Amino acid sequence: MDFRLTEEQEMIREMVREFSEKELKPKAAYYDETGEFPFEPLRKLAELGLMGMNIPPEYGGSNVGTVAYSLAITEIAKGCASTAVTTSVTNMVAEVIYEFGTEEAKSKYLPKICSGEYPAGAFALTEPHAGSDAASIRTTAVRDGDYYVINGQKTLITSGEHAGVAVVWAVTDKEAPKGKGISAFIVEKGTPGFIVGKNEKKMGQRASSTNDLFFEECRVPKENLLGKEGDGFKISMVELNGGRIGIASLALGIGYAAIDYATEYAKTREQFGQPIANFQAIQWMIADSYTELDAAQLLVLRAAFLKDQKVPFAKEASMAKLFASETAKRVTMRAIQILGGYGYTKEYPVERYHRDAIVTTLYEGTSEIQRLVIARSILGKRLGTYR
Ligand code: CAA
């Protein structure tokens, strides 16, 4: 067993850390306040090769692997969580197209995602009545000659209004048993009948957009089907396993940013005639936070390593997401506690870190769904192999 990163992984981490410190951190409060979409940072991240980290170079990706991807998302999230979630979901969309798209679809869409020509990609699975119970979606796709005609509604879709391309799940066989009649399609922005709805006003990660999407007689070429008809639900599950590594990595970044800030604060803030870092109550909060974050990172890197080895990693990805997101929520609360009343004000970034951390326990499967996946795996329910 070797815990050392490769030279390339170290290099990527350093590069992204520097970028995040210089370009993301100084503007994060602005993006949070205004809710403005971070177009410019995202374009620069694409230039650095961070939008197709598991995509081969012939399609414009950097193909550096999931461990490097995890490290990069953590560093981005230290600077700006909204930028990190947009990057993470865009990578996931690139991966699903790469894994299941036709050669034509790969050549057409992947270079645009990887280069930043598309500001983002969207993963359109969730519907008003189908969140945790994703197999109960109602959007339909009916074959009509060389096209599929999509009708329905999606909700809470990250980057919905800015994505150049969305992967959309729809029922193609209403008679099939639950989860077996769903298919996945690539839908380009601007396709007639693809309508973007409201952008939710959120508690945190406010600069990432979160939209309703409507499909009204939306005609999509049959070549835009991913995999085979009926494979869609499995495809979504498999991709979410990888996505969960991204969200776990993001949660880690927020947690580290919060406790790094609070630790520096504790060294300079004086009460009772001395820095509050001298008090054991503060020391234990710092010690517990770094211990829990490092433990979470080991789970995240294990899941990333397994994915890179192309062996099953669903349970490990869910463990990583569960533990990292819940840890980030706890650690960001402690950071507020260390700063006391100041921690509750917008003069300091820790209240934002806490708001940004909360959603990591919700999207790409709530903590309760992660526990369900883990328990089913332990109790013997097969969770699919890697592909
Ligand atoms: N990996 C691989 N396969 C999986 C899997 C996983 N994690 N979870 C389920 N499967 C497989 C099962 O093995 C089963 O396969 P077989 O048919 O071969 O037996 C099939 O999928 C159906 O599974 P279940 O019978 O367990 O289905 P279910 O309906 O009882 O439960 C669920 C499935 C795990 C609860 C699933 O619906 C789920 O993960 N829900 C959460 C949805 C989610 O994460 N949504 C996130 C939206 S996207 C997002 O948030 C992105 C963003 O914008 C930030």
Under the banding of pLDDT at 50, 70 and 90, the label for residue 382 is low
- Residue with CA nearest ligand 1 atom 48: 364
Instruction: Tell me the CA–centroid distance for residue 371 and ligand 1, in Å.
Output: 12
The Å distance, Cα 106 to ligand 1 centre, comes to 25
* Catalytic residue flag (residue 21): no
Contact 254 CB / ligand 1 (< 6 Å): no
pLDDT for 384 beyond 60: no
Question: Which residue pairs from 306-314 have beta carbons closer than 8 angstroms and sit at least 24 positions apart in sequence?
Answer: 307/66, 307/241, 307/242, 307/245, 307/386, 308/65, 308/66, 308/67, 310/386, 310/387, 311/386, 312/383, 312/384, 312/385, 312/386, 313/241, 313/245, 313/386, 314/237, 314/241, 314/373, 314/377, 314/383, 314/384
Mean pLDDT, the chain, as a whole number?
A: 97
Token couple for 193: 């009948």
Question: Which tokens sit at 185?
Answer: 């399609």
How many angstroms is it from 134 CA to the middle of ligand 1?
7
pLDDT mean over 89-109: 98
pLDDT in tens, 28-83: 999 999 999 999 999 999 999 999 999 999 999 999 999 999 999 999 999 999 99
Split at pLDDT 50, 70, 90, the class of 2 is confident
Nearest CA to ligand 1 atom 11: 383
For residue 1, the model assigns a pLDDT of 85
259 pocket-lining for ligand 1 (C-beta < 6 Å): no
Torsion, CA 67, CA 297, CA 344, CA 211, rounded to 10: 40
- In the prediction, which pLDDT does 380 show? 82
For the cut 90, the answer to whether the pLDDT of residue 385 exceeds it is no
Cα–Cα distances (Å) from 217 to 148, 170, 331, 346, 377, in that order, read 9, 13, 47, 46, 39
pLDDT for res 311: 96
Q: Which residues of 194-203 are buried (b: 16+ CB within 10 A; e: fewer)?
A: bebeebeebe
Q: Is the pLDDT of residue 386 over 50?
A: no
What are the residues facing 124 on neighbouring strands? Answer: 168
So what's the pLDDT on residue 387?
A: 38
Which of 234, 318, 359, 362 for mutating ligand 1's site (highest number of atoms within 8 Å of CB)? 234
Question: Quick check: CB of 299 below 6 Å from ligand 1?
Answer: no
Closest-CA residue to 158 (of 196, 115, 107, 114): 196
Q: Does residue 363 have its Cβ closer than 6 Å to ligand 1?
A: yes
pLDDT per position as a tens digit, 203-240 = 999 999 999 999 999 999 999 999 999 999 999 999 99
Q: For position 82, what pLDDT does the model report?
A: 98
Span 261-268, mean pLDDT? 98
How many angstroms separate the alpha carbon of residue 372 from the centre of ligand 1? 10
Q: Which atom of ligand 1 is nearest to the CA of 159?
A: 53
Indicate if ligand 1 lies below 6 Å from the C-beta of 176: no
User: Cα of 132 to ligand 1 centre, how many Å?
Assistant: 9
pLDDT in tens, 299-309: 999 999 999 99
Cβ distance 312 to 306 under 8 Å?
yes
Query: Could you tell me the sign of the dihedral formed by the alpha carbons of 20, 90, 250, 306, in that order?
Result: negative
Q: Mark out the alpha helices in 103-206 (DSSP H runs).
A: 103-115
Given a contact cutoff of 8 angstroms between Cβ atoms, the answer to whether 67 and 14 are in contact is no
**pLDDT band at residue 298, thresholds of 50, 70 and 90?**
very high
How far apart are the C-alpha atoms of 261 and 258, rounded to whole Å? 5
Neighbours of 260 (CB within 10 A): 14
Q: How far is CA 368 from CA 25, 147, 326, 371, in A?
A: 31, 38, 11, 5
Among 96, 208, 240, which is best to mutate for testing ligand 1, by the most ligand atoms less than 8 A from CB? 240
Q: Among 137, 154, 205, 383, name the best residue to mutate to test ligand 1's pocket (greatest count of ligand atoms within 8 A of Cβ).
A: 383
Percent of the chain with pLDDT over 70: 98
Give the span between the Cα atoms of 337 and 350, in whole angstroms. Answer: 10
Closest to 222 in 3D by CA, of 172, 174, 177, 162: 172
Tell me how far the alpha carbon of residue 370 lies from the centroid of ligand 1, in angstroms: 10
Instruction: Give 68's contacts (C-beta < 8 A, 6+ positions apart).
Output: 8, 9, 12, 13, 53
Kindly name the residue from 95, 316, 351, 364 that is annotated as catalytic: 364
Q: Quick one: which atom of ligand 1 is closest to the CA of 122? A: 53
Q: Average pLDDT for residues 337-359, to the nearest whole number?
A: 98
Alpha carbon of 373 to ligand 1 centroid (Å): 8
- In angstroms, the CA 357 to CA 89 distance is 16
